[in-house]
Amino acid sequence: MPPAKKRTRSYDSAKTRAAVLAQFENVTKAVEGLTPEQLDGPTRLGEWTVRDLAAHLTMAVGAVARALGEPEPAERALGLLDWPAVTATAAARIDEDTRAIDSADLAGLFAATAALYQERIEGVSDERLVRMRFGAMRLADFLVTRVVELVVHTDDLNAATGLEIPYDRQALAACTRLLADALAIKAPGGAVEVRIPPFAVVQCVEGPRHTRGTPPNVVETDPLTWIRLATGRARWAEELDAARVGASGERADLAALLPLMG
């Protein structure tokens, strides 16, 4: 028999819409308090400064309003679980577009982005198709990708500035779950159980499928460590050595499967 087709996890759209705004507001408050010297400081994202990173977040959220201001595409070309794997293909374009943003007035840019997001998303169907970099996508799915962008780059901002910008719980949960599901798509199977409490448990990797009792191959870590591993911000061996990842069983080595997105 062919392997069972994996089903896309469902996300509560109302919570996702609110999570985008909540996490964007968390970042807004933090950026407002940064000095010019801090904004000109480096990040772990190549040549991007903190100002570039902040501007990129307005672009990521602003993409929702821009897409909703355009005619609806004719057909859907990309599923939610396809998105993580294709992000790296647009790295050069994303860098170029980010550097083109006029970020002289960051406070004004953040305020305008939030206002337009709220205005244009109000009352729009989850099934409305929107155009994004890689084709068309359901609005509900596109919003989940915006949550991932916000959470991942909030962590980048925290690493660059030493701040402790909080994570909206719904945003952190959605980000964790999507990246966990992306692993299950990349390495389908049931030999390894990956636990990321309290948000996600997935099975992956070809081999004997576990049915009952304690699985023979288990990986467990916290949400932020998982997100860093999945996006290339952290390395498997280093996190394992630091005991931020627990791995038991001969198949419980995910190093070759990471990162999942660029």
Cβ contact 24:65 at 8 Å: no
First and final C-alpha spacing in the chain: 34
Same domain, 109 and 147: yes
User: Is 252 within the bounds of a domain?
Assistant: yes
User: Is 165 within the bounds of a domain?
Assistant: yes
Same domain, 140 and 222: no
142, 172, 202: which is the final residue of a domain?
172
- CATH, residue 207: 3.30.1050.40
Same domain, 248 and 155: no
User: Is 105 within the bounds of a domain?
Assistant: yes
Helix axes 50-68, 13-32, angle to 10 degrees: 150
Helix axes 13-32, 139-161, angle to 10 degrees: 30
User: Is 181 within the bounds of a domain?
Assistant: no
Q: What's the confidence (pLDDT) of residue 212?
A: 62
Same domain, 143 and 211: no
Strand 135-138 to strand 129-132: parallel, antiparallel, or no bridges (unpaired)? antiparallel
CA-wise closest residue to 11 among 182, 174, 146, 223:
174
Q: What's the confidence (pLDDT) of residue 4?
A: 41
Number of domains into which the chain is organized? 2
Same domain, 149 and 195: no
Same domain, 162 and 213: no
172, 203, 223: which is the final residue of a domain?
172
Same domain, 244 and 166: no
Q: How many helices (H) and strands (E) does the chain have?
A: 10, 6
Q: What's the confidence (pLDDT) of residue 1?
A: 31
The residue range of the domain holding 225 is: 187-257
User: Is 43 within the bounds of a domain?
Assistant: yes
Alpha carbons within 13 angstroms on the beta-carbon side of residue 156 total 24
145, 172, 199: which is the final residue of a domain?
172
- CATH, residue 102: 1.20.120.450
Same domain, 246 and 117: no
Cβ contact 96:45 at 8 Å: no
Same domain, 32 and 151: yes
Q: 0.85 exceeded by the pTM?
A: yes
User: Is 29 within the bounds of a domain?
Assistant: yes
Same domain, 167 and 191: no
User: Is 90 within the bounds of a domain?
Assistant: yes
Q: What's the confidence (pLDDT) of residue 54?
A: 98
Same domain, 162 and 240: no
User: Is 156 within the bounds of a domain?
Assistant: yes
Same domain, 147 and 233: no
pLDDT tens digits in sequence order for the chain, 262 residues long: 333 445 678 999 999 999 999 999 999 999 999 999 999 999 999 999 999 999 999 999 999 999 999 999 988 778 999 999 999 888 999 999 999 999 999 999 999 999 999 999 999 999 999 999 889 999 999 999 999 999 999 999 999 999 999 999 999 999 999 999 999 999 999 999 999 999 999 999 998 766 666 778 999 999 999 999 999 999 999 999 999 999 999 999 999 999 999 7
